[in-house]
Amino acid sequence: AQKVTQAQTEISVVEKEDVTLDCVYETRDTTYYLFWYKQPPSGELVFLIRRNSFDEQNEISGRYSWNFQKSTSSFNFTITASQVVDSAVYFCALSEEDGGFKTIFGAGTRLFVKA
């Protein structure tokens, strides 16, 4: 059965600090997809990244970077030089073949970035 754990419920940082949001997943499948989504205070859900289980390359997009490690079943998200606009709830999600690619979301990590 698939499961996504985001152990950090809330994180508070000061602007310009780097912050890493943890995501640990469980799956018995070899084919699966991982995602991160952002939900700012305005409430909409915004897609950030998709990663398939066969591609362990890390990814960088501006101040955002993702570290995918199959050995530890983790897909962590780092924000470099955080800004107030990064304040949001961030969700990690998993979609596995065995579940008909049903997407399971983690509980989310609320990030506060203070000026």
110 binds another protein (CB under 8 A): yes
> Closest distance between another protein and the C-beta of residue 82, in Å?
20
Binding-residue pattern over the window 60 to 89 for another protein, x denoting contact by CB under 8 A: -----------------------------x
Specify the 3-state DSSP secondary structure of 21. Answer: strand
5 binds another protein (CB under 8 A): no
14 binds another protein (CB under 8 A): no
45 binds another protein (CB under 8 A): yes
Binding residues for another protein, rule CB under 8 A, total 23
Do residues 92 and 25 lie in contact, with contact meaning Cβ atoms separated by under 8 Å? yes
Among candidates 32, 31, 13, which has minimal Cα distance to 82?
13
> Closest distance between another protein and the C-beta of residue 53, in Å?
11
Do residues 82 and 15 lie in contact, with contact meaning Cβ atoms separated by under 8 Å? yes
Q: How many residues does the chain have?
A: 115
| Bridge partner residues of 46 (DSSP) | 38
